[in-house]
Chains A and B, each alone.
Chain A
Amino acid sequence: MNKTRVIPVLLLRGRGLVKTIKFKKSTYIGDPINSVRIFNEKEVDELVFLDIDASREKRGPDFDLLEDIASEAFMPMAYGGGITSVDQIRRVFALGFEKVIINSAAYGGEALIRQASVTFGAQSIVGCVDVKRTLLGRYELFSHSGQTRQPVTLMEHVRSLEQQGVGEIIVNAVDRDGTQAGYDLKLIREVACAVHLPVVACGGAGGIDDLVAAVNVGGAAAVAAGSLFVFVGPHRAVLMNYPPRAELARLLP
């Protein structure tokens, strides 16, 4: 059986779902509860929900909405957005999520991830990095929905996340977000070589070939995508979709 997890990433804005391009130009794509019902029918490995406004608006998760989502979800789920305390993490898990994703708060000190990892186990704490490539090809880290540049280097930061005790790292290429132009394979490979943890490729997937390349070339352990699983066709018509399991099993390790 293939081990590579293929993960739709759904972005929450208010009580709706949106899809962005390069973290901007958000398009409304539907209702999260309805989308979860659709993904229940597909053989999705996991589902990721990210509240893309929470950290920027300095607020915590919308627990009522997460409860509604979880009550319809019969697959493993991860949530990210506005998490700053162990208590919030406990509440998210109690609603029926398996993992929480920490991005912006990881730049504010090590206590949160360390404590969460010891309390709930590393497998349930996911680190996420939003990365932009400069004109000179250097990678820079951003937090708070791509708005705040962080001075730490990519390599220092991902190694620090590993050391603090995250169980995996989502590497999100901001410049590829929503473009469907393919993953930044160099970025994925650099992070995969720097840490011993599973790396989840995110940002830019346009087709199954990209998923395969992220694993075979980039060294990703899992692949995540937004547009690929919510749009179809050249005009980007909204349609939740997922490749047939047999096809994934044939193409992915």
Chain B
Amino acid sequence: MIVVVDYGVGNLSSVGNMLRKAGADVCISNDPGEISRADKLLLPGVGHFDYGMKMLNSSGLRDAIEEFALHMSRPVLGICLGAQMLGKGSEEGDTPGLGWIDMECRKLSAHPRIRVPHMGWAQIDKSQSSPLFDGVSEDARFYFVHSYFMSCENQKNVIATAKHGVEFACAVQQGQIFGTQFHPEKSLRHGLALMSAYVRIVSK
């Protein structure tokens, strides 16, 4: 069972639909008990960093997901804001992130030819092999909507990059904790391939 963590932020139904399409048993839940019984978690999120963290902190679910990820070492996939929140913080606000991955989020800078927010399709460059990319083709392109990007302290956490003015980490990993800046649930067959790979990752 994959639990999509419902802390009141993000596009839960799209994520749930894509996971189901990828063959997963899915439950959208805000119940700490259900979260601790899950095989894997999916942490969605769209919007402002501080708002996302405040919603997560006040949801009563933070202890349950930290226990799940850090002590039980079970897989978690964060998407978009959900991925950014895995880091220590963001220029977008002053609320600390979960701090599970050594990274900060920085603002994309706009130029005449570089629009912010970055909204659209982009090809990704895999910088390391990861079980998250098992079955994802070399020319895969994904759909992005974001104004801030993940900047990792340690390059070993960067499993793929993309370019929008700057080159940035678009997928990160630390053990069984994964994050994608892009939206696999909106990325057609490439997104389905990545979600299927996540579904196949074995949980302890």
* Chain A interface residues (CB < 8 Å from chain B): 1, 3, 5, 40, 43-45, 67, 70-72, 74-76, 93-96, 98, 121, 123, 167, 198
Q: Are A5 and B120 in contact (CB under 8 A)?
A: yes
CB of B174 within 8 Å of the partner chain? no
Residues in A neighbouring B18, C-beta threshold 8 A? 74
A168: nearest residue on chain B (CB-CB)? B119
Q: Are B117 and A123 in contact (CB under 8 A)?
A: yes
Q: Are B120 and A74 in contact (CB under 8 A)?
A: no
CB of B42 to closest CB in A, whole Å:
15
Q: Are A121 and B117 in contact (CB under 8 A)?
A: yes
30 contacts between A and B (CB under 8 A): A1-B123, A1-B141, A5-B120, A5-B121, A43-B188, A43-B189, A45-B120, A45-B121, A67-B13, A70-B14, A70-B17, A71-B13, A72-B17, A74-B17, A74-B18, A74-B21, A74-B187, A74-B188, A75-B186, A75-B188, A94-B11, A94-B13, A95-B13, A96-B11, A96-B13, A96-B14, A96-B17, A98-B186, A123-B145, A198-B115
CB of B191 within 8 Å of the partner chain? yes
A99: nearest residue on chain B (CB-CB)? B119
Residues in B neighbouring A98, C-beta threshold 8 A? 145, 186
Give chain B interface residues in 176-204, CB to chain A under 8 Å.
185-189, 191-192
A70 to B14, CA, bound (A): 7
Q: Are A40 and B188 in contact (CB under 8 A)?
A: yes
* Chain B interface residues (CB < 8 Å from chain A): 11, 13-14, 17-18, 21, 115, 117, 119-123, 141, 143, 145, 185-189, 191-192
Residues in B neighbouring A94, C-beta threshold 8 A? 11, 13
Q: Are B143 and A70 in contact (CB under 8 A)?
A: no
A75 to B143, CA, bound (A): 8
CB of B92 to closest CB in A, whole Å:
13
Residues in A neighbouring B188, C-beta threshold 8 A? 40, 43-44, 74-75
A1: nearest residue on chain B (CB-CB)? B123
A44 to B145, CA, bound (A): 17
A67 to B14, CA, bound (A): 10
A110 to B141, CA, bound (A): 37
B115, B119, B141, B191: the one within 8 Å of A74 (CB): B191
CB of B14 to closest CB in A, whole Å:
4
A14 to B162, CA, bound (A): 41
A40 to B185, CA, bound (A): 12
A42: nearest residue on chain B (CB-CB)? B188
A164 to B143, CA, bound (A): 26
Also in contact, A123 and B14, with CB within 8 A (given A74-B191, A98-B145): no
Q: Are A74 and B122 in contact (CB under 8 A)?
A: no
Residues in A neighbouring B120, C-beta threshold 8 A? 3, 5, 45
A182 to B58, CA, bound (A): 55
Residues in A neighbouring B141, C-beta threshold 8 A? 1
CB of B12 to closest CB in A, whole Å:
8
Residues in A neighbouring B192, C-beta threshold 8 A? 74
CB of A167 to closest CB in B, whole Å:
8
CB of B200 to closest CB in A, whole Å:
18
Name, among A1, A74, A93, A121, the residue most crowded by chain B CB atoms within 10 Å (CB to CB).
A74
A70 to B16, CA, bound (A): 11
A75: nearest residue on chain B (CB-CB)? B188
Q: Are A123 and B119 in contact (CB under 8 A)?
A: yes
Q: Are B122 and A1 in contact (CB under 8 A)?
A: yes
CB of A122 to closest CB in B, whole Å:
8
B21: nearest residue on chain A (CB-CB)? A74
Residues in B neighbouring A5, C-beta threshold 8 A? 120-121
B112: nearest residue on chain A (CB-CB)? A196
A197: nearest residue on chain B (CB-CB)? B115
A5: nearest residue on chain B (CB-CB)? B120
CB of A215 to closest CB in B, whole Å:
15
CB of A89 to closest CB in B, whole Å:
14
Q: Shortest 10 CB-CB distances between A and B: which pairs?
A: A96-B14, A123-B119, A1-B123, A123-B117, A76-B186, A96-B13, A75-B188, A71-B17, A74-B188, A76-B143
A44 to B13, CA, bound (A): 21
A67 to B16, CA, bound (A): 13
Residues in A neighbouring B122, C-beta threshold 8 A? 1
